[in-house]
């Protein structure tokens, strides 16, 4: 007769303050884990954009939007903040196309992405029971390849599927 005994495994996590400016310190491998291996290194780019967005929103109490000047301001804030943190900050070479997409679309609410992250949260709640291993600190995921390559007509059609667009603080 064989009996399988489950031995509890202690999983430790770092606080937000300890790993926000260098998320790789929370990883077992010294780098961020990538959910899509075709986009190796993208997680670091997205996290740099997250740091910049945090700084921008804290300072301006609003998202930068699709404005080239604001995107440049966010990029400057990232560089300045990571220099200010010093040697404990992550080292990342910021790629403009990934960074610009992350900053421009930060205020968008995309229903399929919301459903995806809702599923991730539900799975993490199930993992709280101890049956499976939880995600390790950070998950960065993007689907920018699904964005249209050319300009899109955003004129309202008078249906419930119209986007709610803010222009200069007024909602259309």
Would you kindly state where each structural domain of the chain is located, as residue ranges? 16-145
Q: How far is CA 64 from CA 28, 74, 78, 84, 104, in A?
A: 34, 8, 14, 22, 7
Long-range contacts of residues 130-135, Cβ cutoff 8 Å, at least 24 apart: 130/8, 133/9, 133/11, 134/11
Mean pLDDT, the chain, integer: 81
CATH of domain 16-145: 3.40.50.12550
Name the band, by pLDDT with cuts 50, 70 and 90, for residue 56: very high
158 sits in the region (left: phi over 0; alpha: psi -120 to 50; else beta) called: left
Q: What pTM, to 2 d.p., does this model score? A: 0.74
Q: Looking at residues 129-153, what average pLDDT do you find? A: 80
Name the band, by pLDDT with cuts 50, 70 and 90, for residue 77: very high
């Amino acid at each position: 007769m064989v009996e399988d005994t489950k031995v509890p495994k202690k999983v430790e996590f770092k606080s937000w303050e300890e790993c926000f400016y260098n998320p790789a310190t929370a990883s077992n491998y010294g780098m961020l884990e990538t959910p899509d291996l075709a986009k190796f290194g993208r997680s670091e780019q997205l996290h740099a954009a997250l740091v910049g967005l945090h700084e921008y929103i804290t300072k301006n109490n609003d998202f930068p939007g699709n404005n080239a000047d604001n995107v440049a301001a966010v990029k400057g804030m990232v560089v300045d903040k990571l220099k200010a943190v010093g040697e404990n900050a992550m080292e990342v070479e910021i790629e403009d196309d990934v960074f610009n997409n992350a900053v421009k679309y930060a205020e968008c609410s995309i229903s399929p992405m919301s459903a995806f992250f809702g599923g991730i949260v539900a799975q993490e709640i199930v993992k709280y029971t101890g049956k499976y291993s939880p995600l390790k600190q950070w998950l960065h995921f993007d689907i920018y390849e699904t964005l249209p390559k050319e300009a899109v007509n955003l004129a309202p059609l008078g249906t419930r599927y119209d986007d709610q667009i803010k222009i200069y603080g007024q909602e259309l």
